A and B are shown apart, each in its own frame.
Chain A
């Protein structure tokens, strides 16, 4: 019986891993056509943009998955967020509603390629390029606020869980503990212990738990289409990059001589091959966190794009005729629900894979010499 259970667990784990590696590509391929069309559409739209009532799916999708200085709620209602700018003019703090009219001397302008740029305005209302080049945008944007919300949620969940553990030690978990405990044990036993090893895993547990729950909660909040959620946090390259960079730095700081020997001069490999192998290994060292970043970013981004694309279909067809729009709506909603289910899985999966790979990098950085004999 126990054996059966083990083999099933193995199978399940393998299944998760395979999914984690297949899903990003399939989602990206699925997402790509939309991306291409939106890029093709953007220039033509800019010409007609001013008072065009025509529905532009590409612009809508890009707007929703990009970071922004205000939190869009519905229709023309949006919550303005604080803008914090540091430039040669010093620190400027104001609400994002002033960005539109430029009354505080700064404007968030759309460039020709569709991206935005914070520009400083001179006294005459034209761009003051000398100041613009010195602007550091530290605004509390939608994504930053979403990060804060996620972190507040984490603080609330885990501090109250910790309190519950302290209040009744040695007792079976209940309430918030029974939600938190299986996940913590999952990270400890299936990620940290299996990837780093029984001896050294404890040092990395706080970090692994923090990134696991941060990614998972952010992913989940991103699936909620209204206020506390809806931001594309983990699907933003800056967030994914920061997380991957932290993982890389921790890997470097915890690396031992054995790790560097394997990169710089793989033991047991002839010198002729080393000439080829060492550059590849060094490249691989940087490639690992890069891939870590791309996988998380692309997966979550693709999930958001797909959900929005299905909804955009409704409006594209509704412009042709209202009846067709309603007809398509049924399929769109059905597909969106299906994708939502898949995204629930992906949200967990990407947190798992990111944490697992981070743990594996830590594991390889701290591996002892004994392993070298196998080469």
Chain B
């Protein structure tokens, strides 16, 4: 029976000491410990959340970078292409102009040569004519220096006429 008969003294001391320890622990142990645990949990949750956000931002930034890079690459390609085209055009134009100039020069040179040649030929013709006249004069002078010779000439000339 003794085992199931609660003793008053024990109940009394149990209540008193439990009340005291409950009050002390509640005020000085449980409250700060639970608060700290809660704070730490919140801190960790926040930290994890912001890490996640930072990761997402990084990924976004990276994809942005990628996009920018691609754009830049494209632009560069376009610019290069354009530059090449312009270069080709300029080179082509320059070549054309040079050709034209050269042609022009050549043509004028040729014309010059032609006119020089013509002048030379004309000069030569004149000279030849003058020389021929001189020679003919000299020959005539020679041929007609004696009366015999004049007579034979007339004779031959007449013979030629007769033949005709």
Which A residues contact B (CB, under 8 angstroms)?
Answer: 62, 65-67, 84, 113-116, 136-141, 143-144, 147-148, 151, 154-155, 158-159, 161-162, 165-166, 169-170, 180-181, 184-185, 188, 202, 205-207, 209-210, 214, 236-239, 241-243, 246, 301
B40: contacting residue among A154, A170, A202, A238, CB under 8 A: A170
Specify which chain B residues have a CB less than 8 angstroms from the CB of A137 in the assembled complex: 7-9
Q: How far is the CA of A84 from the CA of B12 in the complex (A)?
A: 12
Interface residue stretch chosen among B18-26, B54-62, B97-105, B155-163: B18-26
- Knowing that A151-B18, A161-B29, A185-B37 touch, tell me 7 more A-B residue pairs with CB under 8 angstroms: A114-B2, A136-B8, A137-B8, A166-B36, A170-B40, A214-B18, A237-B3
Q: Find out whether the CB atom of A158 lies under 8 angstroms from the CB atom of B33.
A: yes
25 A-B residue pairs with Cβ-Cβ distance under 8 Å, sorted by A, are A62-B3, A113-B1, A114-B2, A136-B8, A137-B9, A144-B9, A151-B20, A158-B33, A159-B28, A166-B32, A169-B40, A170-B39, A170-B43, A184-B33, A205-B30, A206-B26, A206-B31, A210-B25, A214-B21, A236-B10, A237-B4, A242-B11, A242-B15, A246-B15, A301-B3
Nearest to B6 among chain A residues (CB) is: A238
Specify which chain A residues have a CB less than 8 angstroms from the CB of B29 in the assembled complex: 158-159, 161-162
Q: Find out whether the CB atom of A67 lies under 8 angstroms from the CB atom of B7.
A: yes
Q: Find out whether the CB atom of A209 lies under 8 angstroms from the CB atom of B14.
A: no
Nearest to A39 among chain B residues (CB) is: B1
The answer to whether residues A114 and B1 also contact, given A161-B29, A239-B14 and a CB cut-off of 8 A, is yes
Q: How far is the CA of A158 from the CA of B25 in the complex (A)?
A: 7
B22: contacting residue among A140, A148, A206, A242, CB under 8 A: A206
Q: How far is the CA of A206 from the CA of B33 in the complex (A)?
A: 10
Q: Find out whether the CB atom of A115 lies under 8 angstroms from the CB atom of B2.
A: yes
Q: Find out whether the CB atom of A184 lies under 8 angstroms from the CB atom of B37.
A: yes
| Shortest distance from the beta carbon of A354 to any chain B beta carbon, whole Å | 14
Q: Find out whether the CB atom of B3 lies under 8 angstroms from the CB atom of A65.
A: yes
Nearest to A240 among chain B residues (CB) is: B6
Specify which chain A residues have a CB less than 8 angstroms from the CB of B17 in the assembled complex: 144, 147-148, 151
